[in-house]
Amino acid sequence: MQTRTAWIPSAVALAAGIFATGMTAAVRADNFTEFAPVVSSTPIIQRVTQPREECWTETITTDEVRRLGGISLGSFDTSTNVVVPVRRDVQRCRTVQAATDTIQGYDVRYRYHGREYVTRMATDPGDRIPVDVSVMPGTR
């Protein structure tokens, strides 16, 4: 009996080692990065409108009545009223909607191993895009 008891723990340890090795091989994956050519890169544009004040200066002319000198004795007045054009600069303002186009990102179409894929990126990738590849054995 003593021999059999010693054999069971070592058999269990051996089976556990084989099982652990087999599981590690099934889960192990290779990860690497390749580059794929970009087929197209289209900017995603968002139009943002904001109110802003637009001001300018206008010169306006108004007529003013001026009194030219003379003497005034009781009800007798020798002064003369004259209409004189007066020019003034006046500031005018109005609120307008200012539109600004901002690039939110890029829709990128690329080819990898004969198939086309589409992704959205924050920046324009240029003529090639990094592709992270993970290889893992199938489950069939």
Q: Is residue 87 part of a domain?
A: yes
What is the enclosing helix (H) or strand (E) of 79?
none
pLDDT tens, residue by residue, 18-41: 444 444 444 566 899 999 999 999
pLDDT tens, residue by residue, 58-101: 999 998 888 777 676 767 767 778 888 999 999 999 999 999 99
Question: Can you tell me the mean pLDDT for 33-53?
Answer: 94
**Separation CA 24–CA 91 (nearest Å):** 79
CA distances (Å), origin 112, targets 42, 69, 107: 18, 95, 16
Domain total in the chain: 1
Q: Is residue 126 part of a domain?
A: yes
* Domain of residue 126, residue span: 2-135
Helix, strand, or coil here: 114?
coil
Model pLDDT, residue 27: 54
Q: Is residue 140 part of a domain?
A: no
Chain-centroid distance of CA 16 in Å reads 54
Helix, strand, or coil here: 9?
helix
Q: Is residue 101 part of a domain?
A: yes
Model pLDDT, residue 9: 46
